[in-house]
Amino acid sequence: MVRTTIQWLSSLFYGDPISKVLILAGARNDFSDLLSGSLFVLSGRDNGYALNPRIDFNLAQNADLTCIGGVTLGDKNSQFPPGLLSVIIRAAVYF
């Protein structure tokens, strides 16, 4: 059964989860004073995985750029079926 992103989000917020146990693991690394990155993995017992990479650029003392991605991997009938992709790019300036 192939799910759309809306159906997947609805099952997460309103439905019974397929997996009763979720594991969240992550790592972060500062590559330089201006660049850092992280990778988080969300996994359930149903062989579904969600990967969330993130890169943060500090462009100036009061400006930064963040890029957050998301990809799901695993079985077709798992809580995280394969093929769901997302990218968010956020620019922020502080006064």
Tens-level pLDDT at each residue, the chain (95 residues): 455 777 767 766 776 655 667 788 999 999 998 999 999 998 887 888 899 999 999 988 899 999 999 999 888 877 788 888 999 999 999 88
pTM: 0.70
| Domain limits for position 77 | 5-93
According to the model, what pLDDT value does residue 80 have?
A: 81
| Among 53, 41, 54, 42, residue whose Cα is nearest residue 12 | 42
Domain count, the chain: 1
pLDDT of res. 37: 96
pLDDT at 1 (0 to 100): 47
SS in 3 state form for 53-87?
EEEEEEEECCEEEEEEEEEEEECCCCCCCCCCEEE
